[in-house]
Amino acid sequence: MALDRTMVDAADTARGGSPAAAESHSDLQITREFSVARERVWRAWTQLDAIVRWLGPSDWPAVEVTADVRVGGAWRACLRSRNDDRLLWQSGRYLVVEPPERLEFTFAWEGSNHEDGPGVETRVTVILEPTATGGTRMRFSQTGLLSRQSAAGHLKGWESTFERLDELLTSPS
């Protein structure tokens, strides 16, 4: 599986915006290849019984997920620390649902027990492309993160999460 990842300061790519505002946000981009067809990856992103099996980093796996996968539909997930049973809730709304190619949704942490705090809404885009070998290239981005530190933390979390996704996709079903 190939992996490419970047963190981009919004100030590096912003056009026509206030430099002060642009410098306060960072974006995250991850490209990853899976050895299974994109329809299977799409199902993992959109079916509850699959989402709960891979969502969240290995040390903060999801223990509860709800998802109404349609434009305007809501999603919500609870992650639980393996170390001390702390809970982190995240939620959002689906903005674009184009099977089996594109999924966009808002992403926000609930409560104040996360570094980003309440009220910070980011946007996640997942684009699934078939590869010549029958696998899937996933282009993932998360925009609107508060800082490079936040982007670095989310990068670590998403990389671990996508390891769990790969394990689910390559395990016998």
Q: What confidence score (pLDDT) does residue 18 get? A: 31
Give the phi and the psi of residue 108 in degrees, each rounded to 5: -145, 145
String of DSSP letters for 116-159: T-TT-EEEEEEEEEE-TTS-EEEEEEEEEES-HHHHHHHHHHHH
CA 34 to CA 144: how far, in whole Å? 26
Does residue 148 surpass a pLDDT of 60? Answer: yes
CA 6 to CA 29: how far, in whole Å? 5
In order of 8, 76, 91, the CA distances from 64 in angstroms are: 31, 8, 12
Residues 103, 46: contact at Cβ < 8 Å? yes
CA 167 to CA 155: how far, in whole Å? 18
Q: What confidence score (pLDDT) does residue 13 get? A: 38
Least confident of 16-20, 90-94, 101-105, 111-115: 16-20
Residues 6+ apart with CB under 8 A from 20: none
User: Please, which pLDDT band fits residue 9 given cuts at 50, 70 and 90?
Assistant: very low
Class of domain 26-164: alpha beta
Amino acid at 93: R
Q: What confidence score (pLDDT) does residue 3 get? A: 57
What would the mean pLDDT of 143-152 be, rounded to a whole number?
90
Name the residue among 163, 152, 159 with its Cα closest to residue 30.
Answer: 159
Q: What confidence score (pLDDT) does residue 146 get? A: 87
Tell me the average pLDDT of the chain: 87
Q: What confidence score (pLDDT) does residue 14 get? A: 36
Q: Is 55 helix (H, G, I), strand (E, B) or coil?
A: coil
Both tokens of 154, joined, read: 């989310």
Q: What confidence score (pLDDT) does residue 75 get? A: 98
Q: What confidence score (pLDDT) does residue 166 get? A: 98
Does residue 22 surpass a pLDDT of 80? Answer: no
More confidently predicted of 115 and 164: 164
What would the mean pLDDT of 102-124 be, rounded to a whole number?
85
